[in-house]
Structure 1
Amino acid sequence: MPERTPTPQDVKRWRQYLADERAEATVYRDLARRRTGEEREILLALAQAEGRHEKHWLGLLGEHSGTLRRPSRRNRLVGLLARRFGSVFVLALAQRAESRSPYASDADATANMAADEQIHEEVVRGLATRGRNRLSGSFRAAVFGANDGLVSNLSLVMGMAASGVGSHVVLFSGLAGLLAGALSMGAGEFISVQSQRELLSASRPTQITLSAAASLDLEHNELLLVYLARGMSREAAEHRVAERMGLAGCDCDPSLSLQPESVAETDEHETLGTAWSAAISSFCFFASGAIVPILPFLFGMTGIPALALACVLVGLVLMGTGGVVGLLSGTSPLSRGLRQLAIGLGAAAATYLLGLLFGSVLG
């Protein structure tokens, strides 16, 4: 890069880059303190890479390094969360920060640095994916349950109010909708999880081959069919049969050799959790969302002011849940929040119009 006298704008931009690189390196070191093994090593390697970028900007600044600027608000937020929590949310924020790196379009950043940032995004995406996978089941239930409670009960309240009934009827309808919906969600989740666990249990191979092999006819037995049915290639299945029947000793691929078989519960059961825990979680998540639209009525408000406040409260919660979805998925929290808001309030508006229609017809 040819030598040149930096402009004040250059110095300001480089100082900002330097502050952000230092903040990102600190985030990765803070996250590493909460990890062990391979994840810790990966995070420390990312911190070292950010340190190389830091040296680049220090070299360009030279005597102009002066007083450092504060990191961007995003990096300050990520740093605060990393020191306090170190969760998948922090990794999701870090992933988004890496994806927004300006180095690809900045002539003062090297091509290597721009490529580093792209790779860093993929590395952080991989680390975040591990956490997302651990969260996937409970997170799905939380978002689905809470949003269902918010939207369905707000729609119910709006429809009843538009029909012209009294505020006490609207309140009792909302309470009934809360209880009915929460119980329905809990029962449905119990049946769903229990049924899936039973299907998985029925599909998991048993260890009958361990006890039955010794008594099978050497010339005519169906042990080969067992392994073929489990998806093994014919070569692997025949080798497994030979070992089970005590006829091993062929000069075969060692990867086909029998490995100790475990009767431990499969990961799918751990991911699903218990039916009761799923049912209770769904009940609570739905109820926590469904109570929001009726809060104004619970505190004695009536009419249009109560409906307006209910819409505002539900809108805020919808924006929050949508933002969390966007954050965890590595996309824009704002766009996901607005999407949730549009869907939820759109459903409520449609129900309100139907309530007006029914009220005018029945009135």
Structure 2
Amino acid sequence: MPVERRPAPPEPHPRLIRRWQRHLANERLEERVYRGLAERKSGEEREILLRLVEAEHRHQQHWIDLLGEHAGRRRFPDLGTLILSALGSLFGSVFILALAQQSETSSPYDEDWYATDAMAADEKIHAEVVRALAARSRARLSGNFRAAVFGANDGLVSNLALVLGVGGAGLPPATILLTGISGLLAGALSMGAGEYVSVRSQRELLDASTPNPETHSVIGALDIDQNELALVYRARGMTAGEAEEAAANAIDAAGDPGWSSRAPSALQAPEHEELGTGLGAAASSFCFFASGAVIPIVPYIFGMTGIAAIVTATVLVGLALLVTGGITGVLSGRAPLPRALRQLAIGYGAAAVTFVLGLAFGSVAA
């Protein structure tokens, strides 16, 4: 149900004035973010973003009219809007749009009695516009970037758990370092080998499912009354009548010049997403995993020992998990902070289990 909107009081309370000034500051900052994004775009996306800039300017005017003489006082925007603006100067448009989507979705205008119904409706529509633009950016985002984030996260968690497990057992620092390096190499090689096999298997499966490009050259020699071309169409889902008609049309057209470029769909190779090479995918997975797995052993590389090394490794991995979790949240179109904290909790949970087991085995061995 629409919120009942109140007219502005003749003498606004100072608290109310501050709230309106903050709304105005948010709108001004969001306008700058959208304008900055528009400068990076061209064509239709640029036009869409500039229309959002116009809408934010309309909203500003509403608060300026309400504030009157108080409109000149500048206030800080909300923390979330400030973060959005700061990240806008550091990261690509996909991150900015994902955060802008969160900002528009959580607009306070639904509950603010001094915002108009049109403004509240605008914010909901803006959220959907930004959601669609963010979806475009995510679709263009390289799959290798996603693989980098997830591969690095695997290396972080698995090698931290390994290092804390043997560290909890009381093994010497040199042994812990050797174990960490072994875990890095074993995990990275396993990831690389698995990715190689996966890509090669996908390619072989696609090759086995792709029609032979030479088959269309024999269609003109088929007997239109006794031919098996119709069976190809039936095997691909057509009814018997549809398949017979399609086969007859294909045979009739087979004599036309340039017919091979218009081969029947049943004989054409389907389009598939580019998979890349097996060796390229293997090398990428190896490097992504290793980049995460090296962080837990950094303290031991620099000669740290005991609890200091364990605490340092845990803190370094925790910071990295927050980053990878936040990036994962943004790429998924979700708020980054909850995903970052979830990633941290999962990683620390796994490491805590192995550390406790290491303490237990170390005490038993002693």
Q: Where does structure 1 lack aligned partners over 5 or more consecutive residues?
A: 249-257
Contact 1:95 1:125 in 2 (8 A): yes
Distance 1:232 1:69 in 2: 66
* Residue 329 (str. 1) matches residue 335 (str. 2): no
With over 3 angstroms needed to count, the CA separation of the structure-2 counterparts of 1:130 and 1:169, relative to structure 1, is same
The match for 1:122 is: 128
- Seen in structure 2, the aligned counterparts of structure 1 residues 216 and 342 have a Cα distance that, compared at 3 Å, is same
- Structure 1 CA distance, aligned partners of 2:244 and 2:66? 67
Match of 1:320 in 2: 323
**Amino acid of the residue matched to residue 323 of structure 2?**
G
Partner of 1:200: 206
Report the number of matched residues. 352
Aligned to 2:360: 357
Q: 1:201 to 1:10 in 2, by over 3 A?
A: farther
Partner of 2:93: 87
**Aligned residue runs from structure 1 range 93-104, under 5 A:** 93-104=99-110
Q: What amino acid does structure 2 have at the position aligned with 1:282?
A: S
1: CA distance between counterparts of 2:340 and 2:87? 21
* 1:85 shift after superposition: 4.7
The equivalent position to 2:24 in structure 1, one of 18, 31, 35, is: 18
Once the two structures are TM-superposed, the CA of residue 296 in structure 1 deviates from its matched residue by 0.9
Deviation at 1:220, TM superposition (A): 1.9
Which amino acid is the alignment partner of residue 288 of structure 2?
A: F
Cα RMSD, aligned residues only: 2.7
2:344 to 341, 344, 350: 341
Q: Secondary structure at the match of 1:107?
A: coil
Where structure 2 has 5 or more consecutive residues not aligned to the other structure, the ranges are 1-5, 255-261
Q: Give the letter for the 1:149 counterpart.
A: G
Q: Which of 125, 132, 150 lines up with 2:156 in the alignment?
A: 150
Aligned counterparts, 1:1-363, within 5 A: 2=7, 4-5=9-10, 6-83=12-89, 85-135=91-141, 137-208=143-214, 210-232=216-238, 237=243, 240-246=246-252, 266-269=271-274, 272-363=275-366
1:70, CA displacement in angstroms? 3.7
Range moving further from structure 2, 196-205 or 111-120? 196-205
TM-score (norm 2): 0.86
The residue matched to 2:225 in structure 1 has which SS?
A: coil
TM-score normalised by length of structure 1: 0.87
Read off the aligned partner of 1:90 and give its amino acid letter.
Answer: I
Compared with structure 1, are the counterparts of its residues 112 and 267 closer, same or farther at alpha carbon in structure 2 (3 Å cutoff)? farther
Q: What displacement does 1:237 show?
A: 4.6
CA offset at residue 130 of structure 1? 2.1
Aligned-residue offset at 1:167: 1.2
Sequence identity, in percent? 58
Match of 2:257 in 1: none
Q: Give SS of 2:127's match.
A: helix
